[in-house]
Amino acid sequence: MAIPGVKLKRTKLYSIVSEINAQKYDIYVRLPNGYDDRPADKKYPTLYILNGQWDFGLMLSIHGSLNYDGLLPEMILIGIGWTEQETDEEAQKLSMSDYSAFLVDGQLRGGAEPFLNVLESEMIPFVERNFSVNDERYISGSSVAAWFALFCAFNKPKLFRKYILSSPITWFANGFIFYIEDLFFKSGQELDAYIYISYGELEPNKQIKDFVNAVRSRGYAKLQIVDEEIDSVGHAGNKPVGYTKGLRQCFQRSHDSQPSTSLV
């Protein structure tokens, strides 16, 4: 007898095939409580969760708990994964393929640039056509996904307003993200965003700190960047605490916020 898989309550799963990179993606959606009975003019911010096959359920629980305590606004959670991945090993390969970029003979290679186009031109429009959203978009990710979010910040600075990032691999491709940020700075553009970066005490994090300090030294007028070391955890174990603290840092409690009636 086939045993059905576990389904997260009050979530929806959509699949799309990208016309840009021909990849098949799963899009996980969690709508706020009371979404169906909302006023006609009610619109919600969106949080895009990279590596949704791992982090969508985690972020759903974290957001639900903080929202219950009145510490976060309601928002629509959007997880992004791959339709064809079945194992963690497959997901890791697809993650590294879509979220990375590097130079070969002076030419940009890797899937990050095409996937950024997928995100901007296909996924976000899909969400904004189908759900009641405002123009406040946030993004979260860990490891190479966090690296991609930084790549996004310095290539499409208006796409997201807040970044909740866990252990970005700033050492990747000989510190290529330093080069990307340097190009952005020299272009004279501004980055109007809040970036929170966490890393584990037990992982090598010197280059993460170096990157944060390099960005701070630029004096971007509209950028807030915060970094935090999480005690007694490593590269992956940092996520639950880092995501919790990152969301808490990114949002201040409103004076009229009330606890929710449901955790998730």
Render each residue's pLDDT in the chain as its tens digit; 264 residues. 678 777 888 899 999 999 999 999 999 999 999 999 999 999 999 999 999 999 999 999 999 999 999 999 999 999 999 998 889 999 999 999 999 999 998 889 999 999 999 999 999 999 999 999 999 999 999 999 999 999 999 999 999 999 999 999 999 999 999 999 999 999 999 999 999 999 999 998 789 999 999 999 999 999 999 999 999 999 999 999 999 999 999 987 443 344 444 443
In terms of residue numbers, what domain contains 135?
Answer: 11-250
Indicate whether 262 belongs to any domain: no
Indicate whether 260 belongs to any domain: no
Query: Rounded CA gap, 264 and 184, in Å?
Result: 39
Residue 48, beta-bridge partner list: 78, 139
Indicate whether 76 belongs to any domain: yes
Which pLDDT score, from 0 to 100, does residue 181 have?
Answer: 98
Which pLDDT score, from 0 to 100, does residue 262 have?
Answer: 44
Looking from the CA of 10 toward its CB, the CA atoms found within 13 Å total 15
Which pLDDT score, from 0 to 100, does residue 85 have?
Answer: 86
Q: Are 72 and 247 in contact (CB under 8 A)?
A: yes
Which pLDDT score, from 0 to 100, does residue 260 have?
Answer: 45
Nearest to 193 by CA among 169, 226, 167: 226
Indicate whether 256 belongs to any domain: no
Q: Are 52 and 28 in contact (CB under 8 A)?
A: yes
Indicate whether 87 belongs to any domain: yes
Which pLDDT score, from 0 to 100, does residue 190 have?
Answer: 95
Which pLDDT score, from 0 to 100, does residue 78 have?
Answer: 98
Structure tokens, 232: 């007694």
Indicate whether 3 belongs to any domain: no
Residue 222, Cβ neighbours under 10 Å: how many? Answer: 10
Which residue carries 């992004």 as its tokens? 80
Query: Rounded CA gap, 50 and 70, in Å?
Result: 25
Indicate whether 178 belongs to any domain: yes
Could you tell me the CA-to-CA distances from 170 to 28, 44, 116, 254 in Å, in that order?
A: 28, 32, 18, 34
Which pLDDT score, from 0 to 100, does residue 21 have?
Answer: 96
Indicate whether 5 belongs to any domain: no
Q: How many domains does the chain have?
A: 1
Query: What are the residues whose beta carbons fall under 8 Å from the beta carbon of 34, sequence distance 6 or more?
Result: none
State the CATH number of the domain containing residue 163: 3.40.50.1820
DSSP annotation string for the chain: -PPPPP--TTEEEEEEE-TTT--EEEEEEEPPTTGGG--TT--EEEEEESSHHHHHHHHHHHHHHHHHTTSS---EEEEEEETT--SHHHHHHHHHHHH--EEETTEEESSHHHHHHHIIIIIHHHHHHHS-EEEEEEEEEETHHHHHHHHHHHHSTTS-SEEEEE---TTHHHHHHHHHHHHHHHTT----EEEEEEEETTS--HHHHHHHHHHHHHT-TTEEEEEEEETT--TTTHHHHHHHHHHHHH-PPPTT----S---
pTM metric for this prediction: 0.94
